[in-house]
Amino acid sequence: MPRLGDISTRPCADCGESMYWTEAAVRHPDLLARTSGGGSDAAFVDAYRCANGHTSKECPLCGSYDTAAWADSEARHYHVICAACGNDSVVQA
Ligand SMILES: [Zn+2]
Ligand SMILES: [Zn+2]
């Protein structure tokens, strides 16, 4: 797990800016669904975030946001490499 402020090994897949590990950067719909009554910080997870507000992609295999990603030439897919489980995935843009 990265520490707060750590820079990602790859720039943002969407805009090319550097990405930094950020606390509660992503609103997580699965966690939100599990949280009854709402109003909880548990609906947010840590992730890499760039200056333009883009966040790193979720690993579809283990759910970690400790990932490096890049878009394919037509940006219809992202290639996601997960630092937590080591898997290499392709996800829809
Ligand atoms: Zn970006
Ligand atoms: Zn993973």
- Give the domain ranges of the chain: 19-92
Q: Are 7 and 33 in contact (CB under 8 A)?
A: no
Residue 72's closest CA among 51, 57, 87?
57
- Per-residue model confidence (pLDDT) at position 33: 65
49 sits in which H/E element: strand 44-50
Q: Which ligand is located closest to the Cα atom of residue 71?
A: 1
Ligand 2 center to 68 CA (angstroms): 11
CA–CA separation, 7 vs 18, rounded Å? 7
Ligand with smallest separation from the Cα of 17:
1
pLDDT tens for 42-56 read 689 999 999 999 999
**Interval between CA 17 and ligand 1 midpoint (Å):** 6
The pTM of the whole model exceeds 0.75? yes
pLDDT in tens, 26-44: 988 776 666 555 555 568 9
